A and B are shown apart, each in its own frame.
Chain A
């Protein structure tokens, strides 16, 4: 049994003047797996990712990444993780090449190594022709590629991707997922991603969790989930829709029982 690279216990988070985003999330994610986090809008996916990658704090509960509790020193954890959130995080005034090199330097690379790694990622993400353009001048798809490439500069052990392929054209999307599979297979990185595209989760995830109303409603393998909820020959999408529908019905009948 592989070790867990992410361990979360009892995570809660309520936004001021807002809803309860997480209501007690328990989640284990094994090393070197491709993990899909599914859930409807507002289910708490982005909040969970932000807590796991040390950007937000939970109200209660605990998290450990690679065995290190986040509360015990998030700088050490940040050295282990790569993050590409839903909105791109680029310096609009700097070129792709300079941003990649600067990112490497922030992670302790010397100038030559940072420059070399920048060239490698520019080539891998097809950004060479626009490498010296300011990020503000890049197309939406290229911004997205650079955004993901920046998360990979330091060869993270865990890669958090929040809706990573939104805004990518089909070609970019295919190249992006091929790179994620390569990272996972060759470098052993755990790829933890949220997505609304269920075919992506089915194709590129080994394991998954479904968040619903701030709780983990399902945790298992992608194949197991489809088999359990889609019926014979059904795919993940059918399984997911059945699953959510049955939870809604369950919640409704619970309310009716309470009302009665």
Chain B
């Protein structure tokens, strides 16, 4: 007998493949940003603050992070479809933990984000970013994106389950997207013109994620940002997942 958990995750993955719009929109957004920003301001990459690896090496983590904003909406959309059709109720009557259906949707998103991250990193390499961190750097970066992306996915799922509004599926991602502009996304902290932006970026969790990715992918920056980034991503991943699991009862009651 196959474990019901495997079955449930298998269903979530099949649904992700049959409804790839969130994944494709994330990938499209990511590729667009990489091309456009590199074309627009890539000329500043010669400055010593960029570490000498070229602007694409500096910009690449932005591509990985920005794909999360589309790709992490899949679980919320899938759960919303199940809730809307009433099928979620049917699943909730099965003798398995109800949170398994929510976890499966989040895991499917996480799998999609992991694969998409590898694609974006491959695209970055094609555009000239040196992947000096090798396979460890590439998979470490994908793992970090996946952990953080799972948190956004779970928080989006929780929002949809608590409110019943599928429109909220992308809202959490959009809110986090704004943080991208308050982080050392396009230039390092020391080149930020406004003092207030430097202060905000020091408190912005995305700053640590991007700096850690630069360390892992291209060997740029301080290695101490890597454990901080994994801690931030773990808090987001576990916190979001807990919120999503606690929201199941709201759907039923």
Contacts and interface: CB of A to CB of B under 8 A. Distances in A.
A224 B8 CA distance: 47
Please classify the interface of chain A as helix (H, G, I), strand (E, B), loop, or mixed, using the class held by over half of its residues: loop
B199 interface: no
A106 B253 contact: no
A38 interface: no
Residue among B15, B90, B94, B253 having the largest count of chain A Cβ atoms under 10 Å: B90
A106 B96 contact: yes
A93 interface: yes
Contact of B2 (A54, A88, A105, A107): A105
Nearest to A150: B90
Interface in B1-50: 1-2, 4, 7-8, 11, 15, 18
Interface in A8-45: none
B4 A108 contact: yes
B77 to A, nearest CB: 13
Interface in A69-102: 75-76, 78-79, 81, 83, 85, 87-93, 102
Contacts of A79: 95
Contacts of B1: 108-110
Nearest to A74: B95
B97 interface: yes
A106 B92 contact: no
B92 A55 contact: yes
Most interface-central of B86, B92, B93, B253 (chain A CB within 10 A): B93
A246 interface: no
A105 B88 CA distance: 16
B94 A78 contact: yes
B167 interface: no
Contacts, number: 65
Contacts of B4: 105-106, 108
A92 B86 CA distance: 10
User: Which of A57, A106, A107 has the most C-beta atoms of chain B within 10 angstroms of its own C-beta?
Assistant: A106
B95 A75 contact: yes
Contacts of B82: 91
B252 A56 contact: yes
Contacts of B95: 75-76, 78-79, 106-108
Nearest to B82: A91
B253 A57 contact: yes
Interface in B81-116: 82, 85-97
Given A76-B95, A78-B94, A55 B89 contact: yes
A54 B11 contact: no
Contacts of B249: 57
A90 B87 contact: yes
Contact of A88 (B7, B86, B253): B86
Interface of A: 53-57, 75-76, 78-79, 81, 83, 85, 87-93, 102-103, 105-111, 150
| Nearest 4 pairs of A and B residues by beta carbon | A89-B86, A89-B90, A79-B95, A106-B94
